[in-house]
Amino acid sequence: MNPKRLLPAAPVLRTGLAMVLVAALAACSSTSKPKPPELPANVVVLGVRQAWSVKIPQVAFPLQTSVNGDMVTVASTDGTVVAIDARTGTEAWRASVGAPLTAGVGSDGSMAAVVTKKNELVVLDGGKVLWREPLAAETFTAPLVAGRRVFVQTADRATSAYDGGSGRRLWIQQRTPEALVLKKPGVLLAVGDTLVSGIGGRLVGMNPSNGSSRWESPIAAPRGTNDVERLVDLTGSVSRVGDSVCARAYYVNVGCVDAVRGGLLWSKPAVSAEGLSGDAQLVVGTESDGNLMAWRRADGERAWQSDRLKYRDLTAPLVVGRSIVIGDGTGLLHFVSREDGAPLNRLSVDGSAIAATPVVAANTVVVVTRNGGVFGFRPE
């Protein structure tokens, strides 16, 4: 059985049940994982060099790295937030919000937002704390900063908007909470003038001015006879190309939606909790067993599958140029071919697990490790 990190959607009454479920799932998953096969010798097909590095404290929460132009913003568990120029590795600013984090970081290149373990939304501007606002529930999804507003999705998948300058809450949209929700980042992004959020197994297009729903499109539908089997939250990074937004439903499906019309383009079975990446032709994801999967963006048909990294505890992938970049639980960074998953290069970063999905800015692949290493790599 796959472990599912769950939270009770309604506190008090469901707390006991949720705790029992967590314990039972942990017991089911206590058997040791299959040992990954030995990797072959690294034959360098694509040259990659380290361009710079920055040190932050340890990262032990679900970090989502923010990219805006050449600027990359990262955060550590203790509440340190750092903005880095990806061209040079120079820190634009470094600040502390004074409390451990559960979610972050979202940024528009100037303002940055994180959420603390005290359920407090903290917004910084140029490295200075601008305001703090309490939230009604825990949050694991990085806030979205756009249009001088800050959007937040709490663990019960309620969505709120705040004025970026003052912290005044502009609106909140709440739905009937699910019996259980995941302790994992959900989906929250802007597509044109639409705020796109993951609610249950659906992508929902919202009016960012008031939170009203413009469209809803299911990636997966609840199934099964109990709360755990019916859990279909959308999790992790999405792959967006133009109006096409592709997302993963936790351990059920991957699918793509037209974010203008709100129509489902396709949905296919897939088993993982990690997000997706892609380009105009492909959508790529890592499965729970370490298989790397590629689907055709146009129709969802499988383009190829690779098992070369099986059982290696992979991050979500990053598609960049002719390469796919993936981190693993041993601290290795894998560059593989976009065409078929064949290995192009392999680097050891700092010996600790890769903590976040790799991102790209200023032609630099940026990687963050559990030990707090932030590295910029450039393919040659």
Residue 376's DSSP bridge partners are 52, 366
User: Is 67 among the domain residues?
Assistant: no
Half-sphere exposure of 93 (CA within 13 A, CB side): 13
Q: What is the mean pLDDT of residues 233-249?
A: 96
Q: What is the mean pLDDT of residues 275-281?
A: 97
Q: What is the pLDDT of residue 157?
A: 79
Phi, psi of 18 (to 5 degrees): -60, -40
Q: What is the pLDDT of residue 2?
A: 44
Give 35's DSSP letter.
P
Q: Please state, in angstroms and rounded to a whole number, the distance separating the CA atoms of residues 344 and 44.
A: 6
Q: Please state, in angstroms and rounded to a whole number, the distance separating the CA atoms of residues 325 and 278.
A: 11
Does the pLDDT of residue 257 top 60, yes or no? yes
The residue among 365, 359, 288, 369 whose CA lies nearest residue 66 is: 359
Does the pLDDT of residue 26 top 70, yes or no? no
DSSP 61-128: S----EEETTEEEEE-TTSEEEEEETTTTEEEEEEE-SS-EEEEEEESSSEEEEEETTSEEEEEETTE
User: Is 8 among the domain residues?
Assistant: yes
The pair of structure tokens assigned to 253 is 């499906």
Q: Please state, in angstroms and rounded to a whole number, the distance separating the CA atoms of residues 22 and 60.
A: 20
Name the pLDDT band for 27 (thresholds 50, 70, 90): very low
Q: What is the mean pLDDT of residues 264-274?
A: 96
The residue among 176, 222, 214 whose CA lies nearest residue 195 is: 214
Q: Which domain holds residue 13?
A: 1-32
User: Is 7 among the domain residues?
Assistant: yes
User: Is 17 among the domain residues?
Assistant: yes
Q: Is the dihedral of CA 193, 124, 349, 33 positive or negative?
A: negative
Q: Regarding beta strands 159-163 and 169-173, do their DSSP bridges make them parallel or antiparallel, or are they unpaired?
A: antiparallel
User: Which segment of 121-125, 226-230, 319-323 scores lowest on mean pLDDT?
Assistant: 226-230
Name the pLDDT band for 273 (thresholds 50, 70, 90): very high
The pair of structure tokens assigned to 9 is 């959607």
Give Cα separations from 302 to 11, 253, 257, 375 (angstroms).
41, 13, 17, 33
Name the pLDDT band for 23 (thresholds 50, 70, 90): very low
The pair of structure tokens assigned to 349 is 């970063």
Element (H or E) spanning 26, and its range?
Answer: helix 15-28
Does the pLDDT of residue 3 top 50, yes or no? no
> What's the number of domains the chain is made of?
1
Q: Please state, in angstroms and rounded to a whole number, the distance separating the CA atoms of residues 55 and 112.
A: 19
Cβ atoms of 272 and 248 within 8 Å: the answer is: yes
Q: What is the pLDDT of residue 31?
A: 56
User: Is 355 among the domain residues?
Assistant: no
Residue whose entry in the numeric block shows the structure tokens 């990074």: 237
User: Is 23 among the domain residues?
Assistant: yes
Q: Regarding beta strands 144-146 and 128-134, do their DSSP bridges make them parallel or antiparallel, or are they unpaired?
A: unpaired
User: Is 18 among the domain residues?
Assistant: yes
Q: Please state, in angstroms and rounded to a whole number, the distance separating the CA atoms of residues 258 and 262.
A: 5
Q: What is the mean pLDDT of residues 62-72?
A: 97
Q: Please state, in angstroms and rounded to a whole number, the distance separating the CA atoms of residues 48 and 42.
A: 13
Does the pLDDT of residue 227 top 90, yes or no? no
Does the pLDDT of residue 24 top 60, yes or no? no
Length of the chain (residues): 380
Q: Please state, in angstroms and rounded to a whole number, the distance separating the CA atoms of residues 124 and 132.
A: 9
Q: Find all residues with CB under 8 Å of 281, minimum gap 6, and list them.
A: 296, 297, 298
**What's the pLDDT tens digit per position in 279-317?**
999 999 999 999 999 999 999 999 999 999 999 999 999
User: Is 277 among the domain residues?
Assistant: no
User: Which segment of 103-112, 170-179, 188-197 scores lowest on mean pLDDT?
Assistant: 170-179
